[in-house]
Amino acid sequence: MNSATSFKSGFISIIGAPNVGKSTLLNQLIGEKLAIISPKPQTTRNRILAVKTNPGFQMIFLDTPGIHQARGNLNLAMVRTALATLATVDLILFLVEAHSPGNQSNQRVLEALQSVETQTLLVVNKIDLVSEESLARIAERFQGLHQFKGLARISALYGTGIDDLLAQIVPLLPLGPAYYPEDTLTDLPERFFCAEIIREKIMNLTSEEIPYAVAVTIGSFKEDEQKNLIRIQADIHVERPSQKGIVIGKGGSMLREIGKQARLDMEKLLGSRVFLELWVRIQKKWRKDPRALKEFGYQ
């Protein structure tokens, strides 16, 4: 690494409305899949930290839940998680969709930005979906609403503009030490990501209320180094018997598919064979229960 006099480091929060591509952007920025991806809104429920270290800098990114009009204890906890980062980071990336800049949630983000002095970059995502003229109008509109330090145009899905975004971030970082060792990718344990992988499969394989009524916890995580095998037992929590039936599926077909897809992703993540055991449990109204929210890691 460079000398301490020139090394730069800082915490960077990625904020925006639900489903604008924050998690996809995080994965592109660090070159690894850490955050789960789903076309459904409000996929991200927790603050996910990811570290990118180069010889001259260390960027610590915080992927946050989408800021929206929250109803219910779970959604309120998610929005609080996102807003809590704004005043404590060195830089904010405000992500907006090129084809939907008028999203009501964007106004909520702009209001939140007024209450902090944190420098902010405007990042326009999904530029592949609109014309250059539309992009110019979006940039002009948002520049009139807040004093942004710069504008980056990207497609998080295809990786377009990521290098330019990183180049804009570096000058805005303060001089400072590396907060994490060079080989650190995240501060979250493997158990967290295994639970998130299972939830991602449920998000993508089920519909209607099921993805939002599900929480996943890891009951046990045991490594057998001699066999290069990790045995994982996980609980899928739902609120009603009907939801349990859908997650299990006819003859257990849905649960087997969730387990199959999750196991393959876990093996990539962990670099080991995985034996995965899934149980579906009913916990009535857990999204409204502060104790359950805390137990599931949402408080």
CATH of the domain at 119: 3.40.50.300
Give pTM, 2 decimals: 0.83
144 and 230: one domain? no
At 9-37, the pLDDT tens digits run 999 999 888 888 999 999 999 998 888 78
Q: Is residue 134 part of a domain?
A: yes
The tally of domains found in the chain comes to 2
- Confidence tier at 2 by pLDDT (50, 70, 90): very low
Q: What is the largest CA-CA distance in the chain?
A: 63
- For residues 34 and 98, membership in a common domain is answered with yes
pLDDT confidence band for 199 (50 / 70 / 90): very high
pLDDT at 46: 74
Query: 195 and 166, same structural domain?
Result: no
> In the chain, at which residue ranges do the beta strands (DSSP E only) sit?
8-16, 48-54, 57-63, 91-97, 120-125, 150-153, 215-224, 229-238, 273-282
* Same domain (yes/no): 159, 213: no
CA distance 237 to 279: 9
Reported confidence tier of residue 91, pLDDT bands at 50, 70, 90 = very high
At 254-288, the pLDDT tens digits run 999 999 999 999 999 999 999 999 999 999 999 99
One domain for residues 230 and 151: no
Residue 237 and residue 99 share a domain: no
Range of the domain at 19: 8-172
In a domain, 261, yes or no: yes
Average pLDDT over residues 66-95: 73
- Pair 45, 137 in one domain: yes
Residues 195 and 168 reside in one and the same domain: no
Q: Which string of b and e fits 44-77 if b means at least 16 CB within 10 Å?
A: bbbbbbbbbbeeebbbbbbbbbbbbebeebbbeb
Do 149 and 282 belong to one domain? no
With tokens 């990336």, the residue in question is 93
**167 and 253 part of one domain:** no
Among the three residues 144, 172, 200, which one is the final residue of a domain in this structure?
172
- Average pLDDT of the chain is 89
| Cβ-based neighbours of 210, under 8 Å, separated by 6 or more | 202, 238, 243, 246, 247
SS3 content of the chain, % helix, strand, coil (to 5): 40, 25, 35
Q: At what angle do helices 253-270 and 241-248 cross, to 10 degrees?
A: 70
Residues 259, 204 share a domain: yes
